[in-house]
A and B are shown apart, each in its own frame.
Chain A
Amino acid sequence: MIDVFQLLTLLGLAAMTVLARCFFFILSRELPFPAWAQRGLLYAPIAALAAVVVPEVLATQGQLISTGLDARLLGAAAGVAYYTYRRGQGQAVLGTIVVGMAVYLPLHIGLGW
């Protein structure tokens, strides 16, 4: 089991989750919100995802991969190709995951790429 100190640490970490995810709507006060910031937020969701995903696919520990023979690169490319083929209709995202893994796993486990 875990002790009181560990439990407090975990509760602190949970508080960090709440603090970050609710940062700008914890207080009920009015926030000055200029129009340019409002427009800028239109680009934030895709930027945030790209910042998480692109290094995971195109780099190893921050170093750009130097070969095309990379299981992650080919898996992601297959996923994107499937999404484009389906034009995003129906379960295109689900298909992206399935097709991507179908390419990634054999290359990664079988060939060690």
Chain B
Amino acid sequence: MFLDPANFRHPAFRTGMADAFKVAPGIWAWGLMTGVSMVQAGLGTAMSTWMTLLVYGGSAQLAVTPLMAVGTPVWVVLATAFCVNLRFAVFSLHLRGYLMAWPRWQRLTIGYLIADLNYVQFVQNHPQPATDAAGQRAEMAYLCGNCFLTWAGWQIASVLGIVLASQVPLEWGLGFAGVLALVGILCSLASSRMRTVSLVVSGAAAIAAYALPLRLNILVAIAAAVAMCLVIEKTAGVNKAAT
């Protein structure tokens, strides 16, 4: 994986790291505030640290933290985490086309590390899956570099947040830097009219369906936006170059 020189000596590894660095301050601020939030919700320093190191999923951690603090049954905690993570299942369907060339343990290791922005930056950099071994190696090296920098930054920031929990008030709203990182990536993705339609439909649906439990509004919004775009493509005959 990361210890494999074929990955970390590959030039694409640096490209992946450089891309991750563009959004790194957002990731750090977000990780920091996730660490602070877990401790302030009453999870304890040791538990919060282990959760950060093992679970590695900000939205799921924040969703289950209040449940665990009041002793909710484990199956409810696990089901909540899975539902909050469901958007990743959509990503995995997309990534399947890139990753099936690799052995299963390698797919699972890199898959575990692919968070929202890693997925988005990866498919933005590699719009089509490679068909030859050299191209697949370049994809894997990019993913390794991109995910490694995100992972390291997130973990350091989270642990810092856990340690400094009493010194960093949540009210400052430093976590907004994470939202701004996503806003920046959204701007870079909105490169065609159809993609902008997807953005608007999804955003509106996410607010309209906000009352759904377990952040299922995200899944509803993705489905609504993709369906709407496919329908417009069919009826208006938008050519493929427009996407």
A7 and B116 CA atoms in complex are apart in Å by: 26
A48 and B195 CA atoms in complex are apart in Å by: 12
Which residues 222-238 of B have a CB within 8 angstroms of A? 222, 225-227, 229-230, 233
Q: CB-CB < 8 A to A52: which residues of B? A: 59, 87, 116, 182, 206, 218
Q: Are A44 and B94 in contact, CB atoms less than 8 angstroms apart?
A: yes
Q: Are A55 and B207 in contact, CB atoms less than 8 angstroms apart?
A: yes
Which residues 53-84 of A have a CB within 8 angstroms of B? 53-59, 61-62, 64, 71-72, 75-76, 79-80, 83-84
Q: Are B104 and A28 in contact, CB atoms less than 8 angstroms apart?
A: yes
CB distance from B142 to the nearest CB of A (A): 16
Q: Are B217 and A40 in contact, CB atoms less than 8 angstroms apart?
A: no
Chain B contact residues, majority secondary structure: helix
A28 and B100 CA atoms in complex are apart in Å by: 7
Known A2-B46, A18-B108, A25-B96; contact A57-B183, beta-carbon cutoff 8 A: yes
B1 at the interface (CB under 8 A from A): no
Q: CB-CB < 8 A to B92: which residues of A? A: 20-25
A18 and B21 CA atoms in complex are apart in Å by: 24
Tally of A-B Cβ pairs under 8 angstroms: 275
Closest residue on chain B to residue A96 by CB atoms? B184
CB distance from B213 to the nearest CB of A (A): 12
Partner of B184, one of A16, A17, A21, A83: A83
A4 at the interface (CB under 8 A from B): no
Closest residue on chain B to residue A54 by CB atoms? B203
B152 at the interface (CB under 8 A from A): no
Q: Are A9 and B77 in contact, CB atoms less than 8 angstroms apart?
A: yes
CB distance from B79 to the nearest CB of A (A): 9
A98 and B25 CA atoms in complex are apart in Å by: 9
CB distance from A27 to the nearest CB of B (A): 9
- Residue with the greatest number of chain B CB neighbours at <10 A, chosen from A20, A28, A100: A20
- Residue with the greatest number of chain A CB neighbours at <10 A, chosen from B55, B124, B206, B243: B206
**Which of under 10, 10 to 19, 20 to 34, or 35 or more describes the interface residues of B?**
35 or more
**Which of under 10, 10 to 19, 20 to 34, or 35 or more describes the interface residues of A?**
35 or more
Q: CB-CB < 8 A to B203: which residues of A? A: 50-51, 53-55, 58
A41 at the interface (CB under 8 A from B): yes
Q: Are B211 and A45 in contact, CB atoms less than 8 angstroms apart?
A: no
Surface stretch bound by A, among B5-13, B130-138, B157-165, B186-194: B186-194
A79 and B177 CA atoms in complex are apart in Å by: 10
Q: CB-CB < 8 A to B184: which residues of A? A: 79, 83, 92-97
A24 and B229 CA atoms in complex are apart in Å by: 23
A18 and B68 CA atoms in complex are apart in Å by: 20
Q: CB-CB < 8 A to B59: which residues of A? A: 52
Q: Are A16 and B60 in contact, CB atoms less than 8 angstroms apart?
A: yes
Pairs of residues from A and B, 3 with the lowest C-beta to C-beta distance, nearest first: A62-B210, A54-B203, A20-B85
- Which A residues contact B (CB, under 8 angstroms)? 1-2, 6-7, 9-14, 16-26, 28, 31, 36-37, 39-59, 61-62, 64, 71-72, 75-76, 79-80, 83-84, 88, 91-98, 100-101, 104-105, 108-109
17 examples of A-B residue contacts, CB within 8 angstroms:
A9-B78, A10-B47, A18-B108, A21-B112, A22-B112, A24-B95, A40-B226, A41-B94, A92-B184, A92-B187, A94-B184, A96-B184, A96-B187, A97-B23, A97-B177, A101-B177, A109-B171
